[in-house]
Amino acid sequence: MAGYNTIRGLRVKYLSADPANPEAGQVWYNSTTGNLRVDGISGTGAWSSGGALPAGRSSGAGFGISTAAVYAGGRSTTAASTSTFEYNGTSWTGGGALNTARGELGGTTAGTETAGLCYGSHTNPPGFNVSATCEEYDGSSWTNGNNMATSVSFEGGSGTQTAAFSAGGRAPSNTNNSQEYDGTNWSNGNPINTARQSLVGMGTQTAGIIAGGESPGGGSNSAETYDGTNFTAAPNMGTARYRLSGSGSVATASLIFGGRFNPPAADKAQTEEFNGTSWTEKADMATARQQLSGNRGTSTSALAVGGIVSGAVTNTEEWNVPVSIKNITTS
């Protein structure tokens, strides 16, 4: 039988104590306790409460990682907002104001806390006009970018500030439109396979995924992957829904959560993970809601922010899959 040093090309270190900052997959022998140890064993994921938004919001844009996230725009009941809130992993504080008040941003957009992007939306009434405007965030203020190629709201989108995509949405009815942003200009791309609105997008401009959404037939469980040129049907989610959100800077390790489905009309708390091959149901959020926002986190660290329960809420929930050190039992 091959030994560890043959398989890994490394010898197991004998240490008197566990190392301070072990790497995932690192193996060592703790000579004090007499245990063979390994780091990087994933535990069970669950949602816990995070800091509350300063004000109830729904349909805003979320981006950044879970300890440096941004929530921008959104609605407080009926009025679209210019507000930006920044999250440090514990609490939300005010950031720079958007130049244009906007709601129905699609939940998750693109970028990091210091290089973010939001695009599309509905403007304030009267009119509820679908908007093509785009703004870039530098961590303190918003700057208008060039308009999208097609006005859209309730879109799915993801990527970075210099390489983002938008898919589906309202324009002003359900659309199969897709668009790409190169950091300067938007251009229309190939259509998605199923026209829909209120979907979610994750991943990158060249390896993305869209999931869920609302079509005339109701909530959808379909997903499509994006390779930067074409959208291709992917495995269906377990639970059909729209006005959901998600988290995933990488499409093959992404998470979707919340949303709504009808009939019967009901908000959802369910969470599902996509690993590139299939969807797996995970633990529910504590509070079912729709029109919530996510961030550009991962399938092991995500935020669910705001949304509508009976009205716009301030709730933040944090998804975390703990990684720990375990003893290895040999026989």
Partner 1 sequence: MALFIYGTATNTGKGFFTHQDRQNFYLSGQPANVWVVGNNEKGALWLAEKNGVEKTKAEAQALVTAEVTAAQEAWDALSDEQKTISSRPSQITLP
Binding pattern for the stretch 120-139 against partner 1, x by CB under 8 A and - elsewhere: --x--xxxx-----------
133, 194, 291, 298: residue in contact with partner 1 (rule CB under 8 A)? 291
CB of 269 to partner 1, least distance (A): 7
- Any contact of residue 167 with partner 1 (CB under 8 A)? no
For residue 92, give the nearest of 239, 265, 271, 303 by alpha carbon: 303
Closest CA relative to residue 236, chosen from 173, 174, 295, 279:
279
Among residues 6 and 78, whose Cβ is nearest to partner 1?
78
DSSP 196-251: -BS-EEEE-SSSEEEE--EETTEEB--EEEE-SS-EEEEPPPSS-BBS-EEE-SSG
Tokens of 221: 């469980």
- Cβ proximity to partner 1: between 3 and 127 the closer is 127
* Amino acid (one-letter) located at 249: S
Q: Which residues of 246-276 are buried (b: 16+ CB within 10 A; e: fewer)?
A: bbbbbbebbbbbbbbbeeeeebbbbbbbbee
Can residue 103 be called a binding residue for partner 1 (CB under 8 A)? yes
Contact 287, 313 (CB under 8 A): yes
Site for partner 1 in 187-246 (CB under 8 A): 243
Smallest gap from residue 216 Cβ to partner 1 (A): 14
Asked if 271 interacts with partner 1 (CB under 8 A), we say no
CB of 244 to partner 1, least distance (A): 13
Contact call for residue 286 and partner 1 (CB under 8 A): yes
CB 274 to partner 1: min, Å: 22
CA distance 304 to 292: 7
Q: Which are the contacts of 41, defined by CB distance < 8 A and separation ≥ 6?
A: 323, 324, 325, 326
Return the residues of window 25-54 that contact partner 1 according to CB under 8 A.
Answer: 44, 46-52
Helix (H, G, I), strand (E, B) or coil at 110: strand
Of 16, 277, 310, 331, which one interacts with partner 1 (CB under 8 A)?
310
Kindly indicate which of the ranges 24-32, 60-68, 75-83, 160-168 contains the residues binding partner 1, using the contact rule CB under 8 A.
75-83
Residues that bind partner 1 in the complex, under the rule CB under 8 A: 44, 46-52, 58-59, 75, 77-78, 90-91, 103-104, 122, 125-128, 243, 260, 262, 264-267, 269, 283-284, 286-288, 290-291, 308-311, 315-316, 320, 322
